[in-house]
Amino acid sequence: MMQTDFPALPLPWPTDDMAQQELAHLGGNPVIGHGFRKTLFPVITKEDVLQMQISILRNHSNSEAQFTEDYRNYVGAKYAIATASGTSALHLALVGAGVTPGDEVIVPCFTFIATAQAIVAAKGIPVFVDIDPVNYCIDVAAVEAAITPRTRAVMPVHVHGLPANMPALRQLCTKHGLLLVEDASHAHSAAIDGTICGALGDAAGQSLMADKNFPVGGEGGIAFFADEAKYKRARAFLEETGIDYSMSGIVAAFGISQLKRLPYYDAIRQRNAAYLTAELAKTGLFTGPEVPATYVHAYNMYRIALHPAAVGLDDLPIHAVKGAVQELLVAEGVPAREWQNKPIPGHLPFQNRQGFGQGYPFTLSQRDFSEYSLDRFPNALKMLASTLTLCRELRSPVETERIQSYALAFHKVAARPDAIRKLATENTYPLPYERDGRLG
């Protein structure tokens, strides 16, 4: 029987009066009813299926080569190597850039665990620093304070798709003779002054996993290099070690056809984000991301800040307000999530530091690893306690009526500080980072 995941029915058209109705948590009708909540992603078209069939008919390395060239050209990077995953792309970017065993690499404490694991894979030492409280990317002043004679590279992450402050980081790296290696895994089509992330650093790694704004067929990644020497160093590393990091042809084929539609998908996301940001600004309780002029945010995820003082809830612990709000939003059909609850240095692989075995490569360092304690990252802890995230909910094929429904749900919850207070005081909400670390 033919399998399909096409929706059975469209989402009912939202109306403004929904925001005035009783909260779903208290027995009212949810803004988005059960059965209408699934966000299908990615969009799969006949072009994708045909492209995959073509890849099976020809040598799979041809599809990989075509994909690499098409996407490298789109990003504007000089050299590229398609890989089996984002983690392997980050690993290759670091090695190609020139990171060698024992080198320190400065990295934000708030990212996906793969960023830091890629540094360990390159046999480097992750030196975690705090994030900027506004853009949630690496804090430039904290980077400068962390530089030592062993520092070889700075590895900013364009968190959720908003580019890190690359002009300031470039200046810093030039001043201290350091490499600048991007983690662009959230930042497909994100840009500063027209230059796309992946082409801003000396090298970059990017995930193309099918959960990203720009997906290949399942798992994949790509490493970018600013010059031939770095590209050749990465190629030589693969030859010397025998590691197979190559991308499957059929996986690449899906990316070839998806790339042609990426500008359309980007436009839908920008439209949805602009609408939601404008609506959240009217609620008082919520605000969307702040995007500097000349920056393009890719909105791989959309992080929402809570402002309890705006609705008279500032006497409560902010994480309890967040917990209550999350519960109320989920009841309305909005999949508001934490996406990460603990800074990466607090995760087991960095607390244990076993690495490749017997503590290697951490044993190459004289650093005091008590610096991996969470209290050194107050901005990240505050952000984790006071924000919520939407993940796929801004992407095509998210319909107009769905993004409007999300906005209505935020209005509905923000209008009920009494219900938020009741939940926040009656329930127990532990601090996010005191729970076990989650990968996503």
Partner 1 sequence: MTSGVVMSIEKNDRQLPGLETQIRNKVDRQYVALFNSVTGAIHAALHGQQIGFGSKAVFPRVSQREQKFLTWLGVGIEESTSIPRTYGMASIAWQDAGTTLDAAVAAVSHDKVQVLDFTELGFGPCAAIATNDEQIWKRAERLKIFGAFDLRTMWSQAESEPEIQPTIQFNYRLSPLVAACVRQAIQGNQ
Q: Contact at 8 Å (CB) between 311 and 417? A: yes
CA atoms of 325 and 329, how far apart (whole Å): 6
Residues forming a β-bridge with 425: none
Report the nearest approach of partner 1 to the CB of residue 274 (Å).
26
The interface with partner 1 within residues 330-349 (CB under 8 A) comprises 347-349
Beta-sheet strand order (sheet of 191-192): 195-196, 191-192, 295-296
Strands (E), 258-378: 286-287, 295-296, 302-306
Using the rule CB under 8 A, is 366 a contact of partner 1?
no
Q: With contacts defined by CB under 8 A, name the span among 40-48, 71-79, 169-177, 279-287 that binds partner 1.
A: 40-48
CA-only gyration radius of the chain, Å: 22
Instruction: State residue 425 phi and psi, 5-degree precision.
Output: -90, -30
Instruction: State residue 9 phi and psi, 5-degree precision.
Output: -140, 150
CA atoms of 273 and 392, how far apart (whole Å): 12
Q: Of residues 147, 243, 310, 431, which one binds partner 1 by CB under 8 A?
A: 243
* Between 63 and 283, CB nearer to partner 1: 63
Report the nearest approach of partner 1 to the CB of residue 53 (Å).
11
- Looking from the CA of 238 toward its CB, the CA atoms found within 13 Å total 19
CA atoms of 125 and 147, how far apart (whole Å): 13
Q: Of residues 215, 288, 333, 417, which one binds partner 1 by CB under 8 A?
A: 215
* Between 61 and 427, CB nearer to partner 1: 61
* Between 312 and 397, CB nearer to partner 1: 397
Q: With contacts defined by CB under 8 A, name the span among 116-124, 127-135, 282-290, 408-416 that binds partner 1.
A: 116-124
* Between 160 and 347, CB nearer to partner 1: 347
* Between 174 and 369, CB nearer to partner 1: 369
* Between 249 and 289, CB nearer to partner 1: 249
Q: What angle do CA 296, 301, 304 make, to 5 degrees?
A: 95
Using the rule CB under 8 A, is 360 a contact of partner 1?
yes
Using the rule CB under 8 A, is 100 a contact of partner 1?
no
Using the rule CB under 8 A, is 248 a contact of partner 1?
yes
Report the nearest approach of partner 1 to the CB of residue 42 (Å).
7
Report the nearest approach of partner 1 to the CB of residue 122 (Å).
11
Q: Of residues 13, 17, 194, 244, which one binds partner 1 by CB under 8 A?
A: 244
Q: With contacts defined by CB under 8 A, name the span among 11-19, 133-141, 148-156, 216-224 that binds partner 1.
A: 216-224
Q: Contact at 8 Å (CB) between 133 and 382? A: yes
Q: Contact at 8 Å (CB) between 206 and 118? A: no
Using the rule CB under 8 A, is 222 a contact of partner 1?
no
Q: What is the dihedral of CA 111, 438, 393, 163, to 10 degrees?
A: 0
Q: With contacts defined by CB under 8 A, name the span among 65-73, 176-184, 239-247, 319-327 that binds partner 1.
A: 239-247
Using the rule CB under 8 A, is 288 a contact of partner 1?
no
Positive/negative CA dihedral, 99, 102, 106, 107: positive
Instruction: State residue 64 phi and psi, 5-degree precision.
Output: -60, -45
- Total Cβ atoms within 10 A of residue 307: 17
CA atoms of 319 and 136, how far apart (whole Å): 17
* Between 2 and 293, CB nearer to partner 1: 2
* Between 114 and 419, CB nearer to partner 1: 114
* Between 48 and 332, CB nearer to partner 1: 48
Using the rule CB under 8 A, is 31 a contact of partner 1?
no
The interface with partner 1 within residues 47-66 (CB under 8 A) comprises 48-49, 52, 56, 60
Q: Of residues 241, 294, 425, 427, which one binds partner 1 by CB under 8 A?
A: 241
* Between 16 and 436, CB nearer to partner 1: 436
Cβ neighbours for 310, distance < 8 A, ≥ 6 positions apart: 284, 285
Strands (E), 62-159: 79-83, 104-108, 125-129, 151-154
Q: With contacts defined by CB under 8 A, name the span among 129-137, 234-242, 277-285, 324-332 that binds partner 1.
A: 234-242
Q: With contacts defined by CB under 8 A, name the span among 24-32, 113-121, 138-146, 380-388 that binds partner 1.
A: 113-121
The interface with partner 1 within residues 147-206 (CB under 8 A) comprises none
Q: Secondary structure of 352-397 in the HEC alphabet?
A: HCCCCECCECHHHCCCCHHHHCHHHCHHHHHHHHHEEEECCCCCCC
Q: Which residues bind partner 1 (CB under 8 A)?
A: 3-5, 40-42, 44, 48-49, 52, 56, 60, 84-88, 113-114, 117, 120-121, 209-211, 215, 217-220, 240-251, 254, 347-349, 352, 354-358, 360, 436-440
